[in-house]
Structure 1
Amino acid sequence: MLRVDDLNVWFGFPPDRVDAVKGASFTVAEGESFGLVGESGSGKSTILRAITGLIDSWSGTIEVAGQAVAGQKRDRAFHKTVQMVFQDPYASLHPRHSVDRVLSETLKLQGMDDIDSRITRLLEDVGLGRGFRFRYPHQLSGGQRQRVAIARALAAEPRLLLLDEPTSALDVSVQAEILNLLTDLRAEHGLTYVMVSHDLSVVGHMCDRLAVMRGGRIEEIMTVDQLRHGGATEDYTRHLIAASAGYERA
């Protein structure tokens, strides 16, 4: 579903150029959930932004479902295949747009018909229901806003979801609900996930494999089973696991 090969991403120009991602390579199989973990500034979210075209200063190869993407421009076919859920549900929804407008505009942009019934189905899919359709973001909790953001991503009927720390801005009590929702949606819709997180327990719960990043480079790619059973081969990965004391698969 996704192939990233020798990806380099940078900001600015010499002598002030900052290399945010350096030679990153990984693949994600259809139906797999793949994690990108590491400290803040390690390049995790930058990779997602390069894939979606939010950053145009990159080199290397990005292929989605066998189709190579180039530069910054992404066509409708790309966005019908790939959608992204951002970290902060408070910032990703327009404060003056109702849930109905957010979802109906997205559906129209994707050329969908039968808008009314699709909105109802989307809200039910994310556990909200029809009563939330005409509410505004300020009338929703953080978890409810993130459910709307997930519904918006699902509106295009994508095959690949890019999840950028989707629960880190939420209360701990709500985080598990959203993670369980994402797990259920992946099973129901046959979705492929690439999830960015700094939390190894989240990745252990959600993902099949993960790449550990440091300073813009991928240090190691491993399975969650290796993560759980101390199968790390790189010193940095072992230190990262040790720093997440009390980590266990949920």
Structure 2
Amino acid sequence: MPLSDTPAPMLSVQDLSVWFGDTHNRFQAVDTVSFTLAAGESLGLVGESGSGKSTILKAITHLATDISGHIHLDGTPLTGPRDKSFYSTVQMVFQDPYASLHPRHTVDRCLSEPLRLQGATDIDNRVRQVLEEVGLGAKFRFRYPHQLSGGQRQRVAIARALVQNARLLLLDEPTSALDVSVQAEILNLLSDLRKDRGLTFLFVSHDLAVISHMCDRILVMHQGKITEVLQDKQLQSGTAETPYTQGLIEASRGFTRKEMAGA
């Protein structure tokens, strides 16, 4: 097949580096990272805290601006502040479902306001539909964040991402602030939504069990670099080439054993 007939990846990141701080106290958080993400794929970024996982998401959304390298969405280069077309394709779900929702805005306002900014005309129907999709329903429409549980708030955050018909979700530790039983519910919801809507995920987590369950392919990060690329079956079987990745797997197993012993 000619190269011109090969579809561009949905997301392409090439030689991405990200810095924080001023000239005298500048820190490189991401160091020449490259990867591609195909439409419909779920790609995981895993590593310990400070490895640069969430910083990559910030660079994609232009929340981190001191960067070098190239980012392309559907073959189009992303430069400067992101516009409406970007946010109608890409949405981010943050770790803390309470902090990411305005405490004085109802669920209805949270979901309908982005649609008004887009100039949508079928706002009422879209809000109702997305609430049903995330398992809340119309009875939650006029509640405030403090009237919702952590899991319900995260469902609203997911609904806010979906109401604009985004195709790529950037998921930054979306279940780490939730109880274990609620984590499973949210992960199952995300899996169902990915299947039903044909979504693409870039999923950040330090939890190897979550990444293994949710992702087709895993990028292991350490000190701002990608040190290994794994398929989900490799992670599930504990197969790793680098000592760092093997250490992460062993640490995860040890934590699980301790948790089970204390139960």
TM-score range, shorter chain: over 0.9
* CA–CA separation in structure 2 for the residues paired with 1:113 and 1:192: 26
Q: How many residues align?
A: 247
* CA–CA separation in structure 2 for the residues paired with 1:230 and 1:136: 43
* CA–CA separation in structure 2 for the residues paired with 1:233 and 1:149: 37
Query: 1:40 pairs with 49, 59, 72, which one?
Result: 49
What one-letter code is carried by the residue in structure 2 that aligns with 1:111? G
Q: Note the C-alpha offset of 1:191.
A: 0.4
Q: Note the C-alpha offset of 1:229.
A: 2.2
Q: 2:79: which partner in 1? A: 70
Q: Note the C-alpha offset of 1:58.
A: 0.6
* CA–CA separation in structure 1 for the residues paired with 2:164 and 2:118: 6
Q: 2:170: which partner in 1? A: 162
* CA–CA separation in structure 1 for the residues paired with 2:126 and 2:236: 40
Q: Note the C-alpha offset of 1:208.
A: 0.2
> 1:15 aligned to 2:15?
no
Q: 2:138: which partner in 1? A: 130
TM-score, normalised on structure 2?
0.92
* CA–CA separation in structure 2 for the residues paired with 1:218 and 1:14: 26
> 1:235 aligned to 2:243?
yes
Query: 1:199 pairs with 183, 203, 207, which one?
Result: 207
Query: 2:194 pairs with 182, 186, 191, which one?
Result: 186
Residues 65-88 of structure 1 deviation map (CA, whole Å, 9 limit, x = unaligned): 1111013x0011111110000000
Q: Note the C-alpha offset of 1:51.
A: 0.2
Residues 86-124 of structure 1 deviation map (CA, whole Å, 9 limit, x = unaligned): 000010000000001111101112222211111100100
* CA–CA separation in structure 2 for the residues paired with 1:194 and 1:125: 21
What one-letter code is carried by the residue in structure 1 that aligns with 2:228? E
Residues 208-249 of structure 1 deviation map (CA, whole Å, 9 limit, x = unaligned): 0010001111111111111122331111111111111167xx
Query: 1:5 pairs with 14, 31, 34, which one?
Result: 14
Q: Note the C-alpha offset of 1:12.
A: 1.5
* CA–CA separation in structure 1 for the residues paired with 2:60 and 2:143: 32
> 1:28 aligned to 2:66?
no
> 1:58 aligned to 2:67?
yes
Q: 2:260: which partner in 1? A: none
Q: 1:222: which partner in 2? A: 230
Q: 2:105: which partner in 1? A: 97
Query: 1:81 pairs with 84, 89, 108, which one?
Result: 89
* CA–CA separation in structure 2 for the residues paired with 1:213 and 1:204: 15
Q: Note the C-alpha offset of 1:14.
A: 2.8
* CA–CA separation in structure 1 for the residues paired with 2:239 and 2:180: 28
* CA–CA separation in structure 1 for the residues paired with 2:119 and 2:188: 30
* CA–CA separation in structure 1 for the residues paired with 2:236 and 2:191: 19
Task: Compare 18-27 and 225-234 and name the one that shifted more.
Answer: 225-234
* CA–CA separation in structure 1 for the residues paired with 2:233 and 2:224: 24
**Structure 2 alignment gaps of length 5 or more:** 1-9, 257-263
**Structure 1 alignment gaps of length 5 or more:** none
Superposition RMSD in Å: 1.2
- Same amino acid, percent of matched pairs: 66
* CA–CA separation in structure 1 for the residues paired with 2:187 and 2:118: 26
Secondary structure class of the residue paired with 2:99 = helix
* CA–CA separation in structure 2 for the residues paired with 1:106 and 1:148: 13
Q: 2:151: which partner in 1? A: 143
> 1:176 aligned to 2:189?
no
Q: 2:127: which partner in 1? A: 119
* CA–CA separation in structure 2 for the residues paired with 1:110 and 1:41: 35
Secondary structure class of the residue paired with 1:22 = strand
TM-score, normalised on structure 1?
0.96
Structure 1 runs, 4 residues or longer, greater than 3 Å off: none
What one-letter code is carried by the residue in structure 1 that aligns with 2:52? G
Secondary structure class of the residue paired with 1:124 = helix
